[in-house]
């Protein structure tokens, strides 16, 4: 699991670091905001659980995250850039018959990419509810404010834990702020385009991105799974990897 990531060039030449483990059916997993493939998928054993079950787990670091490029040129951040990066990854690796999943921002990126034309076999949306898609601009404003007030935020501030996580991940705040500007709300009606079987999995105390039940209701072919934890803690629990494994094994 400690192998160095490979680098691929995205649609605009920005390098994307891609971590891969296992052999078998391809499963692309996208991490959350301010995180990395290692922090969300490798560190807590989810990638190993899935690889042991016969998947090739493909985990890019998103643009402005991890070991991927973090350009400071605003031109490197067009609308829906993360969905464009995902489409470029799928094309560069020649993936067919693949499954796709994400956590939080990774889930949002999966949704945007499928609406844009990607067609995975099955889809996993973790740490996401309907409002995290339809009302993303509110979350976006929260994180932009946290970046702008980064050095003055103290314990007790609603943004305190976001800032502490950014510090622990050594986030490039210039690149992250530019990236946040590339995202818009998703009309719930657009979710009708997501016709593949979809798993919506959230922690029992996680409503950071709204209601998973409402998201399931808005998707044509979705099921809901509940695991222990809050938005920040559920991704550390082995139940996340096991739930994804069991659902994809069908």
End-to-end CA distance of the chain: 26
Mean pLDDT of 56-84: 98
List the one residue out of 79, 76, 140 whose CA is nearest residue 112. 79
**pLDDT of 250:** 78
In a domain, 1, yes or no: no
What are φ and ψ of residue 238, in 5° steps? Answer: -60, -20
Give the pLDDT of residue 139. 87
Residue 94, domain member (yes or no): yes
Mean pLDDT, the chain, rounded, equals 96
pTM: 0.97
Please answer whether residues 244 and 124 qualify as being in contact, where contact means their C-beta atoms are separated by less than 8 angstroms: yes
- Average pLDDT in the 81-90 region? 98
Q: Specify whether the CB–CB gap between 214 and 130 falls below 8 A.
A: yes
Is residue 90 assigned to a domain? yes
The mean pLDDT of 93-104, rounded to a whole number, is 97
Task: Report the SS3 class of residue 167.
Answer: helix
Question: What angle (nearest 5°) sits at the alpha carbon of residue 88, between those of residues 54 and 235?
Answer: 50
* Residue 153 falls inside a structural domain: yes
- In-domain check, residue 58: yes
Number of Cβ atoms within 10 Å of the Cβ of 230: 15
Please state, for a pLDDT cut of 90, what percent of the chain lies above it: 95
Measure CA 43 to chain center: 16
Which tens digit of pLDDT belongs to each residue from 171-183?
999 999 999 999 9
pLDDT higher than threshold 90 for residue 2: no
Q: Would residue 186 count as lying in a domain?
A: yes
Residues 185-233: pLDDT tens digits?
Answer: 999 999 999 999 999 999 999 999 999 999 999 999 999 999 999 999 9
CATH of the domain at 192: 3.40.50.1820
In a domain, 140, yes or no: yes
Domain for residue 50, yes or no?
yes
How far is Cα 195 from Cα 184, in angstroms, rounded to an integer?
22
Which regions of the chain does DSSP assign to beta strands (E)?
Answer: 6-9, 15-21, 25-30, 55-60, 99-103, 123-126, 198-203, 222-227
Domain count, the chain: 1
Are the C-beta atoms of residues 102 and 108 closer than 8 Å to each other? yes
Share of the chain above pLDDT 70, in %: 99
How many Å apart are CA 184 and CA 217, to the nearest integer? 21
157: domain range?
Answer: 6-248
pLDDT in tens, 101-140: 999 999 999 999 999 999 999 999 999 999 999 998 888 9
Residue 1's pLDDT is what?
Answer: 46
């Amino acid at each position: 699991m400690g192998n160095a990531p490979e680098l691929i060039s995205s649609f605009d030449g920005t390098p994307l670091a891609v971590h891969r483990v296992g052999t078998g059916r391809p499963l692309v997993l996208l991490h959350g905001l301010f995180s990395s493939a290692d922090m969300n998928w490798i560190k807590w054993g989810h990638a190993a659980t899935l690889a042991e079950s016969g998947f090739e787990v493909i985990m890019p670091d998103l643009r402005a995250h991890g070991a991927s490029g973090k350009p400071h040129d605003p031109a490197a951040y067009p609308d829906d850039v993360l969905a464009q990066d995902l489409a470029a990854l799928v094309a560069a690796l020649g993936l067919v018959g693949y499954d796709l999943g994400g956590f939080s921002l990774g889930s949002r990126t999966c949704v945007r990419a499928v609406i844009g034309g990607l067609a995975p076999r099955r889809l996993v949306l973790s740490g996401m509810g309907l409002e995290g898609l339809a009302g993303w601009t509110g979350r976006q404003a929260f994180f932009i404010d946290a970046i702008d007030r980064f050095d003055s935020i103290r314990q007790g501030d609603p943004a305190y834990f976001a800032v502490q996580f950014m510090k622990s991940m050594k986030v490039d705040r210039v690149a992250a702020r530019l990236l946040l500007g590339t995202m818009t709300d998703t009309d719930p009606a657009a979710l009708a385009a997501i016709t593949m079987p979809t798993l919506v999995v959230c922690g029992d105390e996680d409503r950071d991105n709204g209601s998973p039940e409402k998201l399931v209701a808005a998707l044509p072919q979705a099921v809901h799974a509940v695991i222990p934890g809050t938005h920040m803690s559920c991704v550390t629990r082995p139940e996340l990897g096991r739930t994804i494994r069991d659902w994809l094994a069908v």
